[in-house]
Structure 1
Amino acid sequence: MLFSELRCKQVINLKDCKCLGRVNDLEFDECSGQICKIIVSNGNRFACWFNNEPEYIICFKDIKKIGPDIIIVDIGR
C-alpha cells in the first residue's frame, strides 16, 4: 500500500465509533523499518497553523483493521 492511499482513509475509533480524521504522517523505527505510529489530524488546516501538535498519535498495535475506505483503531479517549 502506498502512503498516498493510506492518507485517503478515514480513521475511526472502535471505542466510540467517532471519526478521528485522516492519516497525516507515519513514524518508522529506524532499525527495523517498520511503522511504529500513525499521526492523525482532523483536517482543520487553520488549527495546524496555530498548533504544531497533531490531533492523535496512534501506536501501530492499536490499529485493528485497515479496510478499503477506513482504518479502525482501538484507543481510549
Structure 2
Amino acid sequence: MNISMEQLRYKEVVSLADGTRFGYVGDLEVDTDLGQVTALIIPGRPRLLGLLGREPDRTIPWSAVRRFGEDIVLADLPGQRGD
C-alpha cells in the first residue's frame, strides 16, 4: 500500500490495545541512509489554548504501526496512554 504524507495528515493514530486516541500525524521521521520511515510524529496538544505552549510531541515507532484505515492508523502501543 502506498500512502502519501498528505493523506497521513488526515489520519488519527489510535491504540490497538485500548482505543486511546493519540492525535493526528503531523510529521514523519525518516532514516535518510536507508530511505525508510522510522516513526510517526504527533504534535503535542496546546496548553490553555496555546497560551502556555504545547505538550511534547509524541513519537510512534513505525514498527508499532499495524494497519491503515480510511480515517485512522492503528498502532500497537501497550501501556501508553494519550492523556
Q: TM-score, normalised by structure 2?
A: 0.77
2:13 partner letter: V
| Alignment match, 1:26 | 28
From the superposition, tell whether residues 29 and 69 of structure 1 become closer, same or farther in structure 2 (CA, over 3 Å): same
Unpaired runs of 5+ residues, structure 1, are none
The structure with the largest alpha-carbon Rg is 2
SS in 1 for 2:8: helix
From the superposition, tell whether residues 51 and 43 of structure 1 become closer, same or farther in structure 2 (CA, over 3 Å): closer
Q: Does 1:53 align with 2:56?
A: yes
Q: Does 1:13 align with 2:12?
A: no
Q: CA deviation at 1:2?
A: 1.6
Aligned residue pairs, count: 75
Q: CA deviation at 1:52?
A: 6.7
Q: CA deviation at 1:6?
A: 0.5
Structure (1 or 2) with the greater strand fraction: 1
Unpaired runs of 5+ residues, structure 2, are none
> Would the aligned equivalents of 1:23 and 1:40 in 2 still touch at CA under 8 Å?
yes
Alpha-carbon distance between aligned partners in 2 of 1:24 and 1:6, rounded to the nearest angstrom: 8
> Would the aligned equivalents of 1:22 and 1:42 in 2 still touch at CA under 8 Å?
no
Structure (1 or 2) with the greater helix fraction: 1
Q: TM-score, normalised by structure 1?
A: 0.82
Runs of 4+ in 1 over 2 A off after TM superposition: 41-45
| Alignment RMSD | 2.1
Alpha-carbon distance between aligned partners in 2 of 1:41 and 1:53, rounded to the nearest angstrom: 7
